[in-house]
Amino acid sequence: MTLCTKSRGQDATAAPQLLVGKSMAITGGVTGIGRAIALGYLAHGANVAVNHLGDPKSSEQFQSLLEEAAESLGEKEEVVNRLLGVPGDVGDSETGMKLIAAVVEKWGRLDVVISNAGICEFREFLEYVSPDVSR
């Protein structure tokens, strides 16, 4: 996915910066739809925290997301300031609390939560209870 084309400080096809100053949290954010959402939000200027399991494979996927975003946006330092990885299993309610706390600590606010991880339970995000989630 190409976010924008940036050549030596010039934006050729930059996305409109509609989300500057907004902060998002995305569960399951290093692959598939979650990854595409993260890249899109970054392209539009948002701060993005992505949750992933934290195992070696998902940690590697987070690093590749960081690299892809830096390549597309043109500045790794900017991406490091606007993209945060928060490892943990969202089937554990503490992980959700940790994700939200990390966003608020880093950027002072949380505007959007995308619950995209591989569990489906129709409750408020912070009301997930570990024993209710079957694996």
Query: CA–CA separation, 49 vs 114, rounded Å?
Result: 10
Number of neighbours of residue 84 by Cβ within 10 angstroms:
21
User: pLDDT digits over 107-129, tens only?
Assistant: 999 999 999 987 666 677 677 65
CATH 3.40.50.720 fits 17-119, yes or no: yes
User: pLDDT digits over 4-54, tens only?
Assistant: 444 344 454 678 999 999 999 999 999 999 999 999 999 999 999 999 999
User: Can you state the angle between helices 32-43 and 56-73, rounded to 10 degrees?
Assistant: 30
| Element holding 82 (H helix, E strand) | helix 76-82
User: pLDDT digits over 76-106, tens only?
Assistant: 888 999 999 999 998 888 999 999 999 999 9
Give the pLDDT of residue 1: 45
Strands 10-11 and 112-114: unpaired
**DSSP code for 117:** S
Q: Output the six-digit token pair for 119.
A: 């569990």
Give the pLDDT of residue 15: 85
| Element holding 38 (H helix, E strand) | helix 32-43
The ranges assigned to domains in the chain are: 17-119
Strand residue runs (E) in the chain: 6-7, 10-11, 23-26, 47-52, 83-87, 112-114
Q: Output the six-digit token pair for 127.
A: 């009301």
Strands 10-11 and 6-7: antiparallel
